[in-house]
């Protein structure tokens, strides 16, 4: 059902690396929004934390999580590519025999 053949190649599945890249982008966008909040004067708004240090710390944490997610996405993509090439090589060797 979810694994359809596309052009005689590998099954069509959403690669994990794409999901990690999307997660990374979302975390970095939230980090930028948090950093922007550190420059606004939110202490005048009721219910909004006004401490700039807290917003900057949250921005730093979100950015680091986004960077780690991007790194894991890159490594996952490399391992998926190596696995595909290994399977293709085995298939070619089995055809020769």
Contact criterion met (CB below 8 Å) for 20 and 70? yes
CA 70, CA 43: separation in Å to the nearest integer?
34
Which of the pair, 30 or 96, is modelled with greater confidence?
30
Q: Give per-residue pLDDT as tens, 9-50.
A: 556 556 788 899 999 999 999 999 999 988 886 666 666 666
CA 11, CA 1: separation in Å to the nearest integer?
10
pTM of the model: 0.72
pLDDT on residue 9: 56
Q: Give per-residue pLDDT as tens, 61-87.
A: 999 999 999 999 999 989 988 998 999
Bridge partner list, 11: 5
pLDDT band (50, 70, 90) for residue 6: very low
Other CB atoms within 10 A of residue 69 CB: 20
pLDDT on residue 1: 47
């Amino acid at each position: 059902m979810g694994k359809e053949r596309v052009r005689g190649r590998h099954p069509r599945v959403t690669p994990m690396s794409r999901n990690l890249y999307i997660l990374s982008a979302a975390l970095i966008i939230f980090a930028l929004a948090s950093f922007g909040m550190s420059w606004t004067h939110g202490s005048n708004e009721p219910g909004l934390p006004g401490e700039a240090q807290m917003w900057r710390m949250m921005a730093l944490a979100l950015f680091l999580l986004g960077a780690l997610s991007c790194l894991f996405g890159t490594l996952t993509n490399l391992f998926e590519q190596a696995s595909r090439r290994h399977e293709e090589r085995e298939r070619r060797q089995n055809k020769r025999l």
